[in-house]
């Protein structure tokens, strides 16, 4: 079958990527979707099991930093679109191992850009009908005071962690390829995502899992840091909209319009999980354990998504209380998924299939 478009989605077995893969495979049967993922600790093919047998879905286990492999994939599938989500994303891990973040987030992005550039320049139509879409983070903007205006697309970059520095660098490379070569690119900077299938090192699934199992819940400092929360399915809808409608060289902020202090989120989750498990609401508040604050912990992030809303008509479908309620229900209904993830059972499966990496 000849497909209208051939789109690589990197990191498609991860949290956000799996939701984008599922949306694109199901919504666009006329597109071939190539999921490229190395299946490191946070990548899990269970996340896309429901579309694994779709005729327009292809999976390739590959390292985005392997330029010859990326070039070969671009040529094999005549790729005309890249949606780049693959990244190391956990700030704590970046503090202990910044080299891995520089390798994956910077060199991996550069590898993909160069592979796309060389493939597309060699086609008769050149850049026509092509798009390289790079997903970034609000953390590249630095931190806000409690009374400061929200981040806009014009906010200067001021990264404070190795993670955000690596993402800022990758953003700069994407813009440089647009400005230098005329390559069609778009960048989006999103706020904190939450929802089904999130790896349990992140705050929300960690708290849910620890409440279920009555384990201590670590909270940095006094839990007063503020984040804007974006439901992952709303993010996937935004990515779809932007990929199809943005002009080359544009940037958009994607935010959930849901600013919450960490401690308030933790207490809300405890209350909701306790209620669903038949425990008195808030019975497990004593699980909260205040720990030494993270080095360079940014006080507040807040995204102004006005540009996206006014230009393309996107807005979040869920407010946080509804979204977190649905998220908790998903984790309770899929407790076996969480148990397998935390036990690392899927790693053994991948080792047998693909070898250790």
Q: Which residues are catalytic?
A: 138-139, 163
Residues 186, 122 contacting (CB under 8 angstroms): no
CA angle centred on 91, ends 89 and 97, rounded to 5°: 90
Q: How many CB atoms lie within 10 A of CB 123?
A: 13
Question: Alpha-carbon dihedral of residues 32, 112, 233, 200, nearest 10 degrees?
Answer: 120
Residues 132, 175 contacting (CB under 8 angstroms): no
Residues 270, 282 contacting (CB under 8 angstroms): yes
Cα separation, 7 vs 74, whole angstroms = 9
Question: Alpha-carbon dihedral of residues 217, 222, 225, 230, nearest 10 degrees?
Answer: 30
**Three-state SS for 238?**
helix
Residues 226, 301 contacting (CB under 8 angstroms): yes
Rounded CA Rg of the chain = 20
Closest alpha carbon to 323 in 230, 237, 239? 230
User: 288 pairs with which residues across the strands?
Assistant: 217
Burial zone of 348 (CB within 10 Å; 0-12 exposed, 13-18 middle, 19+ buried)? exposed
**Cα dihedral across residues 195, 200, 204, 206: positive or negative:** positive
């Amino acid at each position: 079958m000849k497909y209208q478009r051939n789109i690589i989605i990197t990191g498609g077995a991860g949290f956000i990527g799996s939701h984008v893969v599922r949306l694109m495979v199901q919504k666009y049967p006329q597109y071939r979707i190539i999921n490229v993922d190395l299946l490191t600790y946070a990548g899990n093919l269970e996340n896309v099991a429901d579309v694994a047998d779709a005729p327009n879905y292809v999976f390739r286990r590959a390292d985005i930093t392997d330029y010859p492999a990326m070039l070969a994939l671009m040529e094999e599938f005549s790729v005309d679109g890249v949606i780049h989500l693959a990244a190391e994303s956990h700030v704590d891990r970046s503090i202990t191992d910044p080299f891995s973040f520089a390798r994956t987030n910077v060199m991996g992005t550069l590898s993909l850009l160069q592979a796309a550039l060389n493939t597309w320049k060699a086609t008769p139509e050149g850049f026509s009908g092509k798009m390289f879409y790079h997903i970034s983070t609000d953390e590249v903007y630095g931190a806000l005071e409690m009374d400061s205006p929200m981040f806009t697309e014009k906010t200067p970059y001021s990264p404070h962690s190795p993670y955000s520095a690596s993402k800022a660098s990758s953003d700069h490379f994407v813009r440089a390829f647009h400005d230098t070569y005329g390559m069609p690119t778009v960048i989006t900077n999103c706020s904190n995502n939450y929802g089904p299938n999130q790896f349990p090192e992140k705050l929300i699934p960690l708290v849910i899992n620890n409440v279920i199992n009555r384990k201590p819940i670590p909270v940095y400092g006094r839990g007063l840091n503020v984040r804007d929360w974006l439901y992952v399915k709303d993010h996937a809808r935004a990515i779809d909209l932007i990929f199809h409608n943005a002009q080359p060289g544009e940037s958009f902020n994607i935010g959930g319009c849901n600013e919450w202090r960490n401690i308030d989120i933790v207490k809300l989750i405890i209350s909701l999980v306790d209620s669903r498990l038949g425990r008195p609401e808030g019975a497990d508040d004593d699980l909260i354990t205040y720990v030494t604050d993270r080095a360079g912990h940014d006080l507040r992030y807040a995204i102004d998504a006005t540009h996206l809303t006014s230009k393309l008509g996107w807005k979040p479908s869920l407010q946080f209380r509804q979204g977190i309620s649905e998220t908790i229900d998903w984790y309770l209904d899929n407790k076996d998924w969480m148990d397998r993830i935390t036990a690392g059972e899927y790693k053994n499966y991948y080792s047998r299939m693909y070898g250790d990496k």
